[in-house]
Amino acid sequence: MTPHALAQSVAILTTILAVAGIGYFLAALIAARIFLSQRRKPLAAFAPGVSILKSLKGLDPGMIDAFRSHCRQTYAGEYELLFGVSSLSDPAVKAVQQLQAEFPTLSIKLIECPQRLGTNGKVSTLIQLVPHARHNFLLINDSDITVSPRYLERVMACFAPQAEPYANPAQQVGLVTALYRGRAHHTLASTLEALGIATDFQAGVLLSKWIEGGLHYGLGSTLAVSRNALEKGGGLEVLVDHLADDYELGARISAAGYRVVLSAEVVETNIAAYGIRGFLDHQLRWARTVRDARPWGYAGLIFTHGLCWALLNLLASGASPLSLWLLGLSFCLRLALAMTVGAEVLSDRQVLPSLWLLPLRDLVAMGVWVAGFAGNTIVWRGERFLLKNGKLENTGR
- pLDDT at position 359, please? 94
Q: What is the pLDDT of residue 297?
A: 84
Backbone angles phi, psi at 253, to 5 degrees: -70, -40
Question: What pLDDT was estimated at residue 181?
Answer: 95
Identify the segments of the chain with pLDDT beneath 50: 165-166, 169
3-state secondary structure of 391: strand
**Helix pair 245-255, 276-293: axis angle to 10 deg:** 20
Are 172 and 253 contacting, i.e. CB atoms less than 8 angstroms apart? no
Q: Reduced to 3 states, what is the DSSP secondary structure of residue 257?
A: coil
pLDDT at 2: 65
Query: Which stretches within 238-319 are classed as H helix?
Result: 245-255, 276-293, 295-300, 306-316
Cβ neighbours, 10 Å, residue 162 = 8
- Tell me the three-class secondary structure of 157-205, residue by residue: HHHCCCCCCCCCCCCCEEEEEEEEEEECCCCHHHHHHHHHHHHHHHHHH
Task: Measure the CA angle with vertex 175, ends 133 and 247; round to 5°.
Answer: 100
Q: Return the HEC string of 62-116.
A: CHHHHHHHHHCCCCCCCEEEEEEECCCCCCHHHHHHHHHHHCCCCEEEEEECCCC
What pLDDT score was predicted for residue 349? 92
Q: What is the pLDDT of residue 65?
A: 94
| pLDDT score of 171 | 72
Q: How far apart are CA 270 and CA 194, in angstroms?
A: 9
Q: Which residues contact 43 (CB under 8 A, 6 or more apart)?
A: 153, 154, 157, 264
Residue 264: φ, ψ to 5° = -75, -15
The pTM score is 0.90
